[in-house]
Homo-oligomer: A and B are copies of this chain.
Amino acid sequence: MLHPVVLSGGSGTRLWPLSRQNQPKQFLTLIGERSLYQETVLRASRLPGVQAPITVCSQLHRFMVGEQLQAVAMGNGGIVLEPVARNTAPAIALAAMQALRSDPDATLLVMPADHLIEDEAAFRDAVGRALSLAEQAWLVAFGITPDYAETGYGYIRQGDALGADGYRIDRFVEKPDLETAQEYLDAGGYAWNSGMFLFSAQGYLDELARHAPAIVGAVERAWGKASSDLDFIRIDETAFAASPSDSIDYAVMEKTDRAAVVPVSCGWSDIGSWSSLWSVAEHDADGNRQEGDVISVDTTGSLVKASERRLIATIGVEDLIIIDTPDATLVARKDRVQDVKLVVDRLKAAGRSEHLFHRKVYRPWGSYDSIGVGERFQVKRIVVKPGAALSLQKHRHRAEHWVVVSGTAEVTCGERVFDLNENESTFIPLGSVHRLRNRGTEPVELIEVQSGSYLGEDDIVRLEDVYGRS
């Protein structure tokens, strides 16, 4: 049976400031109404005879994966948490082991979580061809038929035809310079390496064992100590960290003699930069894409995105990328957006946090947003999901005032447990053991005013936590 495997990797830097380390590109709603991750699992779910998707993600993103799956009412074939990043070869090995638990004949359709595919029918057709090759024990890479000389992708050179379904892979080639990319385009027989694959789970592990035995060894040891934690599959960190870090391309596809490519032209994009998002998004007649509250005068060829409660006005500019978020705004020339990584590097070097988190932070129980900060106080807007609860906790350096502005919260403070309704408030003295819970069916929203000498997130002693964080 066919098991979609969604690889949720990536460091979240190329679409900064919208993407952050704890909320990378695949979880953002960039085009349409769902995230790229959601679109990826939904696209896979519409394939014939397909199983629930297996997701391999960083443990940093586990709650986001769980919620986004739930939000599109998707079944869950397992959310495997990588304790550390070890590139795609070990990640796919984990997914193979998960699929084989229930299905010894499992076939894997491996898809990065952050790609866009506009022509789903063409994609589905390519999956059909890849399946027929996989039945003949080929390890299939999906190759995107190039329509211009792109220098940002690796290429796959086709070899002999394998019937009408695809080709042997002659060789993989690194990202070319422009001249070479043009030669590939003119010559034909080259495809972009999309990072999507289809093969037998056992066949992949066998080839991995042959060409990269250290990876299989480490992943097997890590998997042997796997444990379930809520919806998540945790694997052993020490064992997994011992695996070499390598891509499936280097570790398997370039080495096996069973490598095939299925060419496809399906409106694919990896949305690897703001300029590539601009390219795939719809524009107005002036070549602009505007999201949110934007006023433009004589502006052309630009992507302008305003954040909530903020207006962006542009005058006389062209080919700009303007991305506004509550704590950071990027203004870049469209052909220079790859240098956003230089900005992220500077943030890292300065020990800052704008590349790690948004001002609004998602938690398994809901979210908080730091809307005001002063000398000895901080104001947070907190949303608690129906049925959710914050940990039972206390703080050493701060007291808190809570004002409920929507819904009914159940508050624990010391020995007391009581309901706090809309337009009611309470005080949590410094050092008091407390908890906030939403037993209702609507979100609880409250304003928290923290007061104290130290207001860092790390001033928290968790005594009990339903999400396994204590």
**Distance between Cα atoms of A331 and B401 in the complex (Å):** 39
Nearest B residue to A330, CB-CB = B313
**In the complex, are the beta carbons of A332 and B315 less than 8 A apart?**
yes
Could you list some 15 contacts between A and B, CB below 8 A? A17-B311, A295-B343, A297-B342, A297-B343, A310-B329, A312-B331, A313-B328, A315-B331, A317-B333, A322-B331, A371-B379, A374-B406, A379-B379, A403-B403, A425-B425
Interface string of A309-352 (1 = CB under 8 A from B): 11111111100101010111111110111011011001100000
Query: Are A346 and B405 also in contact (CB < 8 A) when A329-B329, A336-B315 are?
Result: no
Contacts of A406 in B (CB 8 A): 374-377
A339 to chain B, nearest CB (A): 5
Interface residues of A (CB under 8 A from B): 17, 295, 297-298, 309-317, 320, 322, 324, 326-333, 335-337, 339-340, 342-343, 346-347, 354, 369, 371-377, 379, 381, 399, 401, 403, 405-406, 422-423, 425, 427, 445, 447, 449, 451
Q: Is the CB of B313 within 8 A of A379?
A: no
Q: Which residue of B lies closest to A343 (CB)?
A: B313
A346 surroundings in chain B (CB, below 8 A): 295
Contact A17 B309 (CB under 8 A): no
Given A297-B339, A371-B379, A451-B423, A315 and B333 contact (CB-CB distance below 8 Å): yes
A454 to chain B, nearest CB (A): 14
Residue of B nearest to A16 (CB): B313
With A295-B343, A295-B346 as known contacts, state yes or no: A332 contacts B320, CB within 8 Å.
no
Who on chain B is nearest to A335 by CB?
A: B316
Residue from B317, B327, B340, B423 within 8 A of A315 (CB atoms): B340
| Residues in chain B near residue A445, CB distance under 8 A | 374, 377
Measured CB to CB, the closest approach of chain B to A273, in angstroms, equals 11
B328–A342 touching, CB < 8 Å: no
Contacts of A309 in B (CB 8 A): 327, 373
In the complex, what residues of B have CB within 8 A of residue A447's CB?
Answer: 372, 377, 379, 447, 449
Residues on B with beta carbons closer than 8 Å to the beta carbon of A317: 320, 331-333
For residue A335, which residues in chain B have a CB less than 8 angstroms away from its CB? 316
Contact of A316 among B310, B332, B381 (CB under 8 A): B332
Q: A331-B331, A336-B316, A379-B379 are in contact. Are A399 and B423 (CB under 8 A)?
A: yes
Select the residue from A309, A313, A445 with max chain B CB neighbours within 10 A: A313
Are A425 and B427 interface neighbours, CB within 8 A? yes
Q: A405-B451, A406-B374 are in contact. Are A339 and B315 (CB under 8 A)?
A: yes
Whole-angstrom distance from the CB of A321 to the nearest CB of chain B? 9
How many subunits of this chain does the assembly comprise? 2
| A372–B381 touching, CB < 8 Å | yes
**Which residues of the other chain, B, contact A427 by a CB distance below 8 angstroms?**
425
Nearest B residue to A399, CB-CB: B423
Cα–Cα, bound, A328→B310 (Å): 5
Shortest CB–CB separation between residue A408 and chain B, in angstroms? 14
Closest B residue by C-beta to A398: B423
CA distance A17 to B328 in the complex (A): 17
Shortest C-beta distance, A37 to chain B (Å), equals 26
Chain B's closest residue to A359 (CB) is B309
Q: Which residue of B lies closest to A427 (CB)?
A: B425
> A309 CA to B346 CA in the complex, in Å?
18
Q: How far is the CA of A309 from the CA of B379 in the complex (A)?
A: 14
Task: Specify which chain B residues have a CB less than 8 angstroms from the CB of A313 in the assembled complex.
Answer: 17, 328-332, 340, 343
A148 to B125 alpha-carbon distance, docked (Å): 69
A103 to chain B, nearest CB (A): 47
Residues of B within 8 A of A298 (CB): 336, 339
Q: Are B343 and A315 in contact (CB under 8 A)?
A: yes
| Contact of A316 with B339 in the complex, beta carbons under 8 Å | yes
Residues of B within 8 A of A340 (CB): 313, 315
A211 to B215, CA, bound (A): 96
CA gap between A354 and B405 in the complex, in Å: 26
Cα distance, A297 to B329, chains bound together (Å):
14
**In-complex Cβ contact of A337 among B312, B315, B403, B423 (8 A):** B315
Residue of B nearest to A337 (CB): B315
Contact A376 B405 (CB under 8 A): yes
Q: Is B405 within 8 A of A377, CB to CB?
A: yes
